[in-house]
Structures are given as C-alpha cells and as structure tokens.
Amino acid sequence: MSTASQRIAAFAATLAFEDLPADTVAAAKLHALDALGCGLAGLAAGEGAFAVGAAREANCGGPATAIGIPGGLPAGEAALLNGTLCHVLDFDDTHPDSVVHVSAAVTPAAIAAAEQAGRGGRELICALVLGNEVSTRLGMAAGGRFHARGLHPTGVCGVFGATASVARLRDLDAERTVHAIGIAGSMAGGLLEFLADGAKTKPLHPGWAAHAALAAVRLAAHGATGPASVLEGRRGFFASYLHGEPVDVAAQFDDLGQRYETPRIAFKPYPACHYTHAPIDALASLVEREGICAADVESITALSDATGVGLVLDPLADKLRPRTAYDSKFSLPYCLASLLVRGSVDVSSFTAAAIEEEEVLELAARVDYEQRRYAAAPDAFPGGVRVRTRDGRTLEAELRQQRGGADNPLSSDEIVGKFRVNAAQALPDAAVAQLERSLLDLDGLATLAPLEILGEACEGIAAGADVGPVTFVRDA
C-alpha cells in the first residue's frame, strides 16, 4: 500500500488546473490576496522589523519577490521574510478543523518557487491548492492534539504543504517529491512556548516552514533522500510528535482530489488569535442589541472550549494584563475589554501603548471564564460571553461558528475590503488596485511579474493605524 507521501506525490503529478472546482480556484485566489494584504500591513506597522532587518543583511537581489525589499531576494530568503510578515499581525487565515494558519506558509513558498521557475498564474494556483490540501489534512489527522503537546500546527504541518507546492512548481517527479516530503519531516517545527512571555517566535513558524520547503525540494532535486514513511512510520512525524497516539493518516488522503478543504479555510476579521473571535462577536452583538457600554458592565465570563482556554484564557492572571503587544493577541479578557472601551478590535488595539491603557486593563480584570464542550468536530472556533450588568441583568450570547468560516462566511467584498485597507498601509492606492487586479485574475497571468510591486512596499507608515471598524454580527 502506498504511504501518505507517495499519495501526495501522485496527486501533485496529476493535478490539472482544469480539474479544480470553481469555488476552490476562487478561494485559493482570495486566500493569497488576504495573506499578502496581511503581510503588507505587518510590514507597515513595523511588527516584522526583525525579519526585514535579517533579510536586508543578505544584501543581494534574487528571482523572488520580497515584501518591502526592492530587487527581490533568493527564493528561500524571500519565503522566510514573506511568511513571517504574513503572520506577524495574526490577521491571516486559519483552517478550523486543523487549526493551521495555511496561507502564511504555503503562499510565500509557492510564490517564491513559481517566480524562480518562471511559472504563470494557473500553475501557481495548482500549487497553492495542493499545499492547502496537504497542510489542512495533516492537521485534521491530529484532531487538535498538536496544541496539547505544545506544538504549533502551522509550523509542523505547514512545512509539508509548502514542500508539496514547491515540488510541484519545480517539476520534481513523484519519486523526488516523496524524498522532498521525507526531508521536510526533519525540518518540521514550531513551539507554543511564546505564550509564556509574549515572545515573537510564533510569526517565524510559517516563515521557517516556507523557507524549509524550498531547501527540502532543492536538496531532493540534487539527490538527497527522505523516508517514504515519514508521516505514518513507527519513528515518523505523527508517532514522534504525538508520542505514539494512534492517528489514521491514510483516511485523510482517501478522497484527495475529490473533496477540497481550500474553501473551508477561514478568514480573520480581527488581528488576534482565532479563539478570541467568536467571543468578540458575541459581545459585539450584545452591545448592538442591548446598547450596553463599558460603564454598564459589572463582570464578564468568557465561554470557550478546552483548546481556546489553553490559548487565550489560561493562566488567567497572565491574560488579565498582557506583557507585550503580541501577548495581547492571545488575551481574550484584553480583547473583550478593548471592544467595550474603544468600540473596536483592530491593529491599533495591539500596540505597546494600547496595552497600557488603564481603562481597558481595569475592565479586563473583571473577566473570568467558563470552559464548555462544543461539538467534538469540526472545530469551528466556537465561543461566547455572559455579561453581568451593574443594574442586575445577565446577558449571554454565543457563536457556534466564528465569523469568516465556511458556515458563517465573510463575503468576497468584505475580504477584498480587508485587503485594500491592509495593503494601503504600505502601498499607494494605485499600486494596491494593481495588485488586487493581478491576484484576483491570477489564473489569467502568463507571468508573475505584476507581483513584483510588493517589493516597493514601505514600512513604518501605519504604526497604530486603524484598519477598520468592528462589523457587528446580528445572529449570535
């Protein structure tokens, strides 16, 4: 029987653009658009300055477009920079069932490989879909258990999806693709320990996954070998990372090419951990429906599942007063207080100055939590709030599917609108419009030269910028 990596390689070799469903193609383009918009906003806000500085140290051009680096970079360096910038604001997409930030790893790796190989838009779309399907299915096989082991699914699963994308664009045959995936298994990584003190290692995870994918494929192309059983083997990826817990990897690839997960990847309306979103929107619905404001609130109980509690609510003492701006993106008490005090949760909510605002912190200190069990699967980032008002009322609202996912979607216009605001932080309006047209018409591009405009982006012009008001949900 074929191993999982052999099945991935066979699918990569036979996938044709004409075979892709229309909704999958449309989703792939929108997710690339969204990811690059997030990368531009991350550059402009200065949050990825460490990655930009490291990239500039190379002091060389290259065939691959790099956000904010005129003249480009070598493919691996561009993938590392772009992947980091796309994730640095935590505004990029997430696949609910796998909890993988898919596009931040796959899109930078695929674009760098496509530019290096001189591919056009249709080949890039095929590679994006391939990478999306591999990353999400590997995460789904674990069923959320990577988080329990202290691992970030984006890093550990994203490297395999990105490697499949790059191997396809480099025209590796099936045998060499299997070797590349096998090599990538020794490069998979990403620890959640950043939660201990708000360090900025998390944005590096998709950047490293994209960078490692380019390296794994290049090594395989020159004869390096990797184990065909890297995913399901006795000493392989799942056995090692999940300490021998049973995982049915094969089942995730039984319908590869028949069912597509790409349209189920969720877009983010807020630049914070996805487990904050449903509670934020639930609270927003109470603000709209009941007319409450910060002065009316006695206390708030946040409602979340076990994974959400572990990421954004526990230990509660740390979440009540975030230590760094990045730490605040993983504090549900802070996010809820920001919504009530400021009326919004946007990029300006997560700055060094914003997290010191006493009115927000005083309200955050009145937030506790209750762990709830929602549906075992799929994990749609559910959550809610119970608000006790000073006049004695108890108000409650929940969302079983977070806004932006397939079951509670953002419209295409909303996604494009998010891109426009994000991209405008780093590019002039004409360049934003040109980039938008190119990405939405990606299947019509003979070359990827129009994407080179990303190199003209400027950093530092959007620190503290408002990226748009909260959109209240009306059906919580």
Range of lowest pLDDT (140-149, 201-210, 368-377): 368-377
Q: Between 132 and 462, whose confidence is greater?
A: 132
> What is the average per-residue pLDDT within 345-367?
96
Task: Give me the pLDDT at residue 379, please.
Answer: 60
The residue type at 397: A
Kindly state whether residue 454 falls inside one of the protein's structural domains. Answer: no
Task: Tell me, yes or no, whether 285 and 390 share the same domain.
Answer: yes
My answer on whether 196 and 109 are in the same domain is: yes
Backbone angles phi, psi at 100, to 5 degrees: -105, 130
In a domain? residue 471? no
Which amino acid does the sequence have at 59? Answer: N
Instruction: Please state the rounded mean pLDDT for residues 34-47.
Output: 96
Q: How confident is the model at residue 474 (pLDDT cuts 50, 70, 90)?
A: very low
In a domain, 190, yes or no: yes
Phi, psi (rounded to 5 degrees) for 314? -130, 135
149 shares a domain with 44: yes
Indicate if 93 and 142 belong to the same structural domain. yes
Q: Which neighbouring-strand residues pair with 256?
A: 259
Q: What is the pLDDT of residues 175-198, one digit of tens each?
A: 999 999 999 999 999 999 999 998
> Could you report the per-residue pLDDT of 408-454, keeping only the tens digit for each?
999 999 999 999 999 999 999 999 999 999 999 999 999 999 999 99
CA-to-CA dists, residue 37 to 33, 174, 344, 472, angstroms = 6, 34, 20, 22
Paired with 69 in beta bridges are 66
pLDDT at res. 460: 57
Average pLDDT, stretch 95-112? 96
Residue 465 has pLDDT above 60, yes or no: no
pLDDT of residue 401: 87
Flag whether 254 is in a domain: yes
- Residue 376 in this model has a pLDDT that exceeds 90: no
Residues 339, 232, single domain; the answer is: no
The residue out of 244, 264, 284 marking a domain boundary is 264
pTM for the predicted model, two decimal places: 0.94
Average pLDDT of the chain is: 94
Considering the domain architecture, whether residues 260 and 280 belong to the same structural domain is answered as no
Q: If 0-12 CB within 10 Å is exposed, 13-18 middle and 19+ buried, where does residue 228 land?
A: buried
Q: Is the peptide bond before 315 cis (omega within 30 degrees of 0)?
A: yes
Residue 346 belongs to a domain with what CATH number? 3.30.1330.120
Query: What is the extent of the structural domain holding 383?
Result: 274-399
Inside any domain, residue 456: no
Does 460 map to a domain?
no
Same domain? 68 vs 181:
yes
- 100 and 174 part of one domain: yes
Distances (CA, A) of 411 to 90, 278, 414: 20, 17, 5
User: pLDDT for 281-300, tens place per residue?
Assistant: 999 999 999 999 999 999 99
Q: Measured between alpha carbons, how far is 272 from 47 in angstroms, rounded to an integer?
A: 14
239 is a domain residue: yes
Domain boundary among 264, 291, 317: 264
Residue 232 maps to a domain:
yes
Q: Is 112 in the same domain as 21?
A: yes
Last residue in a domain, options 383, 399, 415: 399
The total domain count for the chain is 2
CB contact set of 290 (below 8 Å; sequence gap of 6+) = 395
* Residues 302-325: tens digit of each pLDDT: 999 998 999 999 999 999 999 999
Asked if 256 and 362 sit in the same domain, the reply is no
Residues 150 and 215 both lie in one domain: yes
Q: What confidence category does residue 58 fall into, taking pLDDT thresholds of 50, 70 and 90?
A: confident
Same domain, 147 and 8: yes
Pairing relation of β-strands 297-304 and 367-371? Answer: parallel
CATH number of the domain within which 108 lies: 1.10.4100.10
For tokens 């748009």, name the residue: 468
